[in-house]
Amino acid sequence: MVFIQDQAFPSSHYTPLLIVAVEKNDEELIDYLLNRKANLVDGSPYENENPLFIAAVNGDTKVFKELYHLGC
């Protein structure tokens, strides 16, 4: 799994890169990560949200459908 480390809390807070990509609606990065078998169930450490939830809240139906189809 790919992570971005929160510099303020180097040992306790990580945000999975797939979460960041979905939040930013970066479809190219989302496709790249999904093709590399990124973890679909890990959520944001701040609000316990998974990528599917974030896509739904953002109204991103294309990403939502792709994640749903993959079993997220």
Question: What's the predicted TM-score (pTM) here?
Answer: 0.69
Give the residues across from 15 on adjacent strands: 4
Contacts of 60 (CB under 8 A, 6+ apart): 22, 25
Domain residues for the domain of 53 are 3-69
- At 16-58, the pLDDT tens digits run 888 889 999 999 999 988 888 876 666 666 567 788 889 999 9
Question: What's the total number of domains in the chain?
Answer: 1
CATH number at residue 12: 1.25.40
From CA 64, how far away is CA 7, in angstroms rounded?
A: 29
